[in-house]
């Protein structure tokens, strides 16, 4: 048990100096901000541009947190975007049908829909993974298509527009700080503390590191997986509501590239795809880095089509660069340990 206690994850805000991934991400964020500020001092470091980036990144960041939770268990959740869109569609239908008769109750009902639909979708994923035994990538690939199909049947493929009573959650601000970004930071802090300071977080890390050891230590692996996917579904539903408020519309195919982007954010942020390692602060920094890169490329490259293509290439190049650095760092640490052992 002493070994297990030593493996307990540290506080997500403590001892950052000992985490090479976090340090590298801090350097990347600072370097990107400095480079693009020098390249476009008239536009990039302005308050307006920073607010715009904060508005754009909130729902992607919450979806990335959902993926990170599943990855920490050694799994994956590919259905996050379909869950978000299904939630947004159902909430939009409620809001449009009752916008004249009971607008306030409709807003409350939209939040209740998110609290029900998200966890239900997550529970179905968790059941398939934990109880049926389907590999997470296959289970959530299937539910990704299923949830999208349900939304398509409900809307017949059409988008739902004009939902002004919900705009405050997607386009509002408090003292100049966008409300979506405030929600994202609060959620990231809560998830980070949950993973670093609760028994559940410890169980997730141990399950992702060694499922057999977790089971023999008295952890109910199925229960941990169920809770993880339910939480992932809830976060996805919240992202769907933010997207609904920001775009004033809902459709089943919104943000189809978000799944791959969130996986890239998690890996860039130091979440081990095999499970058991990584912290939420890394996910936050990776999100900021990619948002800076995306916005900076769009400003530096004046043609929008070229900027979009180069932006995606830059994302991939950044991810590969970080992975190479991580690999070299890991090998260097292994050699240092072997050297110390041989000398000892």
Q: Is 263 within a domain? A: no
On whether the CB atoms of residues 241 and 110 are closer than 8 A, the answer is yes
Residue 213 lies in a domain: yes
Judge whether 225 lies within some domain. Answer: yes
List, for residues 59-82, the tens digit of each pLDDT value.
Answer: 899 999 999 999 999 999 999 999
What are the structure tokens assigned to 277, written together? 């390692």
Dig out the tokens for 216 from the structure: 């023999």
pLDDT in tens, 122-179: 999 999 999 999 999 999 999 999 999 999 999 888 888 767 767 778 788 888 888 9
pLDDT at position 13 is: 45
Cα–Cα distance for residue pair 321/84, rounded to 1 Å: 31
Distance separating alpha carbons of residues 197 and 217, to the nearest angstrom: 19
Q: Does 88 reside within a domain?
A: yes
Q: Whole-angstrom Cα distance, residue 285 to residue 20?
A: 13
Q: Could you identify the residue written with the tokens 């405050």? A: 168
**259 has pLDDT over 50:** yes
What mean pLDDT is reported for the chain? 83
Euclidean distance between CA atoms 223 and 130, whole angstroms: 8
127, part of any domain = yes
Chain segment 204-226, per-residue pLDDT in tens: 999 988 888 888 888 899 999 99
pLDDT one-digit tens code per residue, 86-105: 999 998 888 887 776 767 78
Contact 202, 219 (CB under 8 A): no
**Residue 305 within a domain:** no
Kindly state whether residue 30 falls inside one of the protein's structural domains.
no
Cβ atoms of 174 and 180 closer than 8 Å = no
Task: Outline where DSSP puts E strands in the chain.
Answer: 160-161, 173-174, 177-178, 249-250
**Count of positions (residues) in the chain:** 344
d(CA 120, CA 143): 12
Q: How many domains does the chain have?
A: 1
- Residue-number span of the structural domain to which 112 is assigned: 6-12+48-254
Cα–Cα dist 304/142, whole Å: 35
Average pLDDT for 281-294 = 89
Is 227 part of a structural domain of the chain?
Answer: yes
């Amino acid at each position: 048990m002493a070994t297990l206690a030593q493996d307990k994850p540290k506080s997500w805000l403590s001892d950052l100096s000992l985490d090479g991934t976090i340090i590298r991400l801090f350097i990347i964020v600072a370097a990107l901000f400095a480079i693009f500020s020098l390249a476009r001092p008239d536009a990039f470091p302005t308050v307006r541009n920073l607010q715009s980036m904060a508005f754009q990144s909130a729902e992607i960041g919450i979806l990335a947190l959902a993926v990170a939770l599943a990855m920490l268990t050694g799994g994956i959740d590919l259905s996050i975007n379909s869950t978000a869109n299904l939630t947004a569609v159902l909430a939009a239908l409620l809001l449009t049908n009752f916008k004249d008769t009971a607008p306030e109750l409709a807003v409350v009902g939209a939040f209740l829909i998110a609290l029900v639909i998200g966890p239900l979708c997550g529970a179905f994923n968790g059941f398939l993974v934990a109880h049926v035994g389907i590999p997470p990538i296959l289970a959530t690939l299937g539910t990704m298509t299923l949830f999208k199909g349900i939304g398509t049947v409900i809307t017949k493929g059409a988008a739902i527009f004009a939902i002004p009573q919900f705009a405050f959650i997607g386009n509002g601000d408090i003292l100049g700080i966008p409300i979506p970004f405030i929600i994202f930071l609060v959620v990231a802090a809560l998830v980070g503390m949950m993973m670093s300071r609760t028994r559940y977080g410890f169980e997730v890390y141990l399950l992702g590191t060694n499922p057999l050891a977790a089971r023999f230590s008295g952890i109910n692996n199925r229960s941990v997986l169920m809770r993880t996917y339910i939480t992932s579904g809830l976060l996805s539903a919240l992202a769907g509501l933010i997207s609904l408020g920001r775009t004033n519309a809902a459709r089943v195919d919104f943000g189809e590239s978000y799944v791959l982007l969130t996986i890239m954010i998690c890996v860039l942020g130091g979440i081990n795809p095999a499970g058991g390692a990584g912290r939420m602060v890394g996910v936050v920094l990776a999100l900021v880095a990619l948002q800076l890169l995306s916005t900076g490329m769009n400003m530096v490259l004046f043609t929008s089509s070229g900027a979009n293509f180069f932006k995606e290439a830059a994302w991939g190049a950044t991810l590969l660069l970080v992975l190479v650095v991580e690999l070299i760092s890991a090998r260097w640490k292994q050699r240092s340990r072997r050297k110390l052992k041989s000398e000892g």
